Amino acid sequence: MFVTTLLTNPATPCLEAAGVEALRNAWGGGDANWLAPDVAAEFAMQHLPSNRWQVWEDMQGLGIDLVVQPLDGRRKKMLLADMDSTMIEQECIDELADEAGVGSRVKDITARAMNGELGFDGALRERVGLLKGLPVEVIEKVLAERITLTPGGKELIATMKADGGYAALVSGGFTAFTASVAARLGFDEHRANTLLTTDGKLTGIAADPILGREAKVSALKQITARLGLSAADVLAVGDGANDLGMLELAGAGVALHAKPSVAAQCDIRINHGDLTALLYIQGYSHDEFRGV
């Protein structure tokens, strides 16, 4: 059995019953179940539709995300999440770079690295090098003035944890940011790179080893082994090329507002919904949300 979920941005809901019913009839699905009025609906079906990506493309033009996945086991026991441009709406290193007066140079490198055009480790070291001499207190300033949480994050984590789930934040960014974001959102643990400092200023060096693509895969394996879970129990979410390893290994890998080259390699692509989409695709209704 498979389940089709249609969802849209809760801030601008545009999901119409007629469209849901038309697709359900075309795909021979069961009765539609509305998870949230005008925002998310689902229906079960026996077979995987051969034209699902064409329909997905059509739905994108309407502001609707379409996810088709196996029905069994879709409610996961662990969340493994990227931070920058996923759980928060910014790239922390870009924000620091703006404060250091090298914003445009760093943003260009970030964009190319996240799209898979540059090796992550080298790109990170190059960008961190450009931050040399920046006062440490600028980190707190950026956290307070520039960093905003992606809508739906608190509900996602609170709801999964209320259902016995575990939440881990794994970032190619920095512990100075993940510590704050993890605490604000309720993550059980966080992992990231460490910015080295001396005399109250950044040295322009990140501590070894660099946490990149393989480190995120290792985190998935290590945490699931510790908890007695398997990769199939994991819902992973990210947006960049360094997330692809964990997205491919997880039972459900979600490309959230991802770079095109990343989204193209994932079966679950959320381009319109916020982080509550990760609850809807697991079959949670809005009435079940916690942390609202």
82 an active-site residue? yes
31, 72, 82, 239: which is the annotated catalytic residue? 82
Among the options 38, 65, 84, 287, which is catalytic? 84
287 in active site: no
Burial of 240 (0-12, 13-18, 19+ CB in 10 A): buried
Active site residues: 82, 84
